[in-house]
Structures are given as C-alpha cells and as structure tokens.
C-alpha cells in the first residue's frame, strides 16, 4: 500500500511541475505554439485532479485498514490463553512372542526317496500326521519354558524343572523333546511303529538324536 501512495504522489508532483512550466509561458504572447501548450495545461489539470482523487481514496482505505487491524489486535489480546493438551503417554508395544521352531512336513519327493524297507506300509499322510503331533509337543513344551515363572501353576512348574534338567551342552540353543513329552502332550503311542517313524524322520533330516544320562533327546533340525 505504501508503494502505491508513493507512486501516486510521484505522478501528482510530475503533473504539477509540468503545469508550472507551462503557466510560466503565458506572459510570452499569443503565439500559436503557446496556445497549443496552454491547451495541454487543461489536460494536465484534469489528470492531476484524477490522481488527487485516487490519492484521497487510497489514504481513506489505509486509515480504515489500520483501524480494523487495531480492533483485531485488541480482540486477540482479550482471548483466553489456548490450553495445550499434553500428549497421551505412549503405550509400550507388547513384547513379541518368541517363535518356536517346528519340524517341516515331508514332501512327496522325499517320501518317494525313502527306502521301501524303512517305510514298510507307512503312507505319506501318516508320516506327516506324526510330524504334526511332534510339533504339538514341541510347541507345548517351549510355551511353558517361555512362560514367566510367576504365572505358572504347580503342574507347569514341575514340567519346567524337568525340561531344564533334561538340557545338556549339546542341546543348548536347539529345540528338542523326549518320549515323556510325546506322552504328555500328544495321543501318539510310543511303540515299535513310532520308532520306525523316527528312523524315517532321521533319514529325511528332520531330527537328530542326543543321548546321555539314560535319555534320548530328539532334536529338531
């Protein structure tokens, strides 16, 4: 806005200067060239008048704008201070459950590669059903091992201590079960047929055995 006023004032001063120069020639006579100049004076006066009107309107507009800004400033001062709400405390994400390694199922190609004397009458589906039950035992065992001790009942606590006693330096960092876990967590019968299945799983590199202390530990590989 200030630049507009300066520009208007500059135009006004320029036009007034032209008028003064032209009026100074009035006393020089009635020559035709001077008459032409005097005619231009009238045009300059009209332009100056228009510029003065614009200047007046611009001044009025600025005065109104300044007064409205002052009113807005007083309104802002009278407003109540804005209350800043404190952010809600960030909830800690729940601890991720530790994954438990499971035994992969036998593929058709692997089943076809098992020697006939080893699988006898055992079918592809039967072998994978046994793997499913073994995984059930592994998951049940290690859920107890991963459970906080304070939340354990007496049964879980007794199992926990047995699991710890069965560990050796060779099983450290590995998932394994024993025959007692098969009986505890599955409906499988630990008989001759079950041991035939274990031989197949060893052949397919699904498990290995760690013996010691009169106990056979079946390690998931």
Q: What string of pLDDT tens digits covers the 221 residues of the chain?
A: 556 656 666 766 676 666 666 556 555 545 666 667 666 666 677 766 667 766 766 776 677 666 666 665 555 555 555 565 666 666 665 555 679 999 999 999 999 999 999 988 899 999 999 999 999 999 999 999 999 999 999 999 999 999 999 999 999 999 999 999 999 999 999 999 999 999 999 999 999 999 999 999 999 99
State how far the alpha carbon of 104 is from the alpha carbons of 55, 92, 127, in Å: 91, 34, 11
Report which of 217, 202, 209, 210 is spatially closest to residue 130, judged by C-alpha positions: 202
- Determine the pLDDT at residue 23: 57
- The count of C-alpha atoms lying within 13 angstroms of the C-alpha of 217, restricted to the half-sphere facing its C-beta, is 21
- Write the CA distances from 118 to 90, 190, 196, 220, integer angstroms: 58, 18, 7, 20
């Amino acid at each position: 806005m200030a630049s507009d006023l300066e520009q208007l004032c500059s135009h006004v001063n320029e036009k007034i200067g032209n008028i003064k120069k032209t009026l100074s020639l009035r006393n020089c006579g009635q020559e035709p060239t001077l008459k032409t100049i005097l005619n231009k004076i009238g045009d300059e006066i009209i332009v100056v008048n228009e510029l003065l009107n614009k200047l007046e309107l611009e001044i009025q507009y600025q005065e109104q704008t300044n007064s409205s800004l002052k009113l807005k400033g007083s309104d802002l001062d009278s407003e109540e201070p804005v209350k800043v709400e404190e952010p809600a405390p960030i909830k800690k994400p729940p601890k991720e459950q530790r994954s438990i390694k499971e035994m992969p199922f036998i593929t058709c190609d692997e089943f076809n590669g098992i020697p006939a004397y080893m699988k006898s009458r055992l079918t592809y589906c039967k072998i994978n059903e046994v793997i499913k039950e073994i995984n059930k035992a592994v998951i049940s065992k290690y859920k107890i091992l991963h459970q906080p001790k304070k939340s354990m009942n007496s049964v879980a606590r007794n199992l926990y201590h047995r699991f710890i006693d069965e560990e050796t330096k060779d099983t450290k960092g590995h998932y394994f079960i024993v025959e007692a876990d098969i009986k505890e967590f599955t409906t499988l019968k630990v008989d001759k047929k079950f041991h035939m299945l274990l031989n197949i799983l060893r052949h397919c590199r699904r498990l290995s055995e760690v013996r010691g202390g009169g106990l056979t530990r079946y390690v998931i590989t």
